[in-house]
Amino acid sequence: MRLNFKILISIPIFISIMISCESDFDIKNDFEPKMVLNAELVPDRNIRVLLTENRPTQNKNELTIIKDAMLEIRVNDTLIFPLVYFPNVTDSINHSGYYVADYRPNPMDKVSITAKHTSFPEVTATEYVPSQILLDEFTLLSHPLPSDKSSPAKVKISFIDSPGKDYYFMDIWYVYYEKKYDSLNAVFYYDETYYFGRDEYVEGLSFTETLWGNKMFDDRNFNDQKVSFDVSITNPVKPKSGNKLYMTIEFRKLSESYYLYEKSFTLSQSGIYDPFKEPIFVYSNVTNGYGIMRSMTYDTKKISILQ
């Protein structure tokens, strides 16, 4: 009878591995409760702050809103009105409960917010609102008709880039008003539909980042000068007879905090289910806590698309 010595040798090795796998390990729980402060500063809007509790990674419950904190705001190092909690104020993603200040920031403001609570460490965030951005030109160069199958729309954009490092965001969308008839009331009316994500392409300009389908870029190629470029919209909405169609551009100047947060957050979400991916920490400018206080200025232009 022949014995397979390879099998005999492997058995004790396998047993030792199984025994070692049964050892107990103590997992250190170093979770520390902290406040999460999120705010976006825009010159034509009152300052709003969402204040929540942080939570362990395995906790998938809804956010816990902190309703009884004391928040103060300083603008250019001067203390102004306190922020008051309003439970019914909501945002676009259905977060309810914001601290609101009866103050709208100005371009170039330095804004600091401090949040205090007896159950959490005090947190502070400071943000600098960028200078105002104005579009000098937003002109329609060409637009396809319903009979054109694959022609892009083209617009010309120009603006003045301010001195220093600047970050920009561009988004173009359509609003389509379809004429319909209300037989019950015997009247015509327009049904409104929004079309986003039109695949903009700036000729001669490489975008620094493409985040969630939106275009962000910096001024590395045109610092401190008047900038003009053509934009091709490869997926335009075509006008139809009797209906109304408008193209809108929103052009933003972003703070550095805004840009770094969007960039790091998007990178952290790519390959999120890859267990071997290196961890990416999302940028935060909140001291002793988590979250982001970011700011922007913007300009919006609208063009009527006629058939």
Give per-residue pLDDT as tens, 9-27: 454 544 454 445 555 555 5
pLDDT the model gives residue 27 = 54
Burial label for 16, CB within 10 Å (0-12, 13-18, 19+), is exposed
Domain edge (last residue) among 128, 163, 191: 128
Token pair in block for residue 26: 């103590």
Number of helical H runs and strand E runs in the chain: 2, 19
| Same domain? 102 vs 185 | no
Same domain, 140 and 243: yes
Per the domain annotation, does 28 fall within a domain? no
Same domain, 77 and 116: yes
Output the pTM of the full model.
Answer: 0.79
Q: Phi-psi bin for 99: left (phi > 0), alpha (psi -120 to 50), beta?
A: beta
Domains of the chain: total: 2
pLDDT beneath 50, residues of the chain: 5-9, 11, 13-15, 17-19, 211-213
pLDDT of residue 23: 52
The dihedrals phi and psi of 95, each to the nearest 5 degrees, come to -80, 130
| Residue 131, CA distances (Å) to 58, 162, 212 in order | 41, 8, 25
Q: 298, 133 in Cβ contact below 8 A?
A: yes
Q: Is 88 left (phi over 0), alpha (psi -120 to 50) or beta?
A: alpha
For 144, the domain range is 135-254+298-305
Asked if residue 214 and residue 103 are part of one domain, the reply reads no
Q: Does residue 9 lie within any of the structural domains?
A: no
* In contact, 285 and 126? CB cutoff 8 Å: yes
216 and 192: one domain? Answer: yes
* Beta carbons of 252 and 215 less than 8 angstroms apart: no
Long-range contacts of residues 61-69, Cβ cutoff 8 Å, at least 24 apart: 63/95, 65/96, 65/97, 66/35, 66/117, 66/120, 67/97, 68/117, 69/35, 69/99, 69/115, 69/116, 69/117, 69/120
67: left (phi over 0), alpha (psi -120 to 50) or beta: alpha
User: The tokens of 276 are what?
Assistant: 């071997």
Token pair, residue 168, equals: 């920009």
* 181, part of any domain: yes
Residue 238 near residue 198 (C-beta atoms within 8 A): no
Gap between the Cα atoms of 103 and 143, Å rounded:
42
- pLDDT (0 to 100) of residue 59: 67
Q: Of 138, 133, 151, 53, nearest to 97 (Cα)? A: 53
Distance CA 191, CA 178 (A): 5
CATH number of the domain residue 102 falls in: 2.60.40
| Beta carbons of 89 and 100 less than 8 angstroms apart | yes
Whether the CB-CB separation of 200 and 214 falls below 8 Å is answered with: no
Q: What is the pLDDT of residue 24?
A: 56
Q: Which residues have C-beta within 8 Å of that of residue 106, sequence separation ≥ 6?
A: 43, 129
CA distance 280 to 269: 9
154 is a domain residue = yes
User: What is the per-residue pLDDT for 14?
Assistant: 44
Helix (H, G, I), strand (E, B) or coil at 218: strand
d(Cα 9, Cα 11) in Å, to the nearest integer?
6
Which of 109, 128, 147 is a domain's end point? 128
Q: Does residue 76 sit in the same domain as residue 141?
A: no
Asked if residue 112 and residue 217 are part of one domain, the reply reads: no
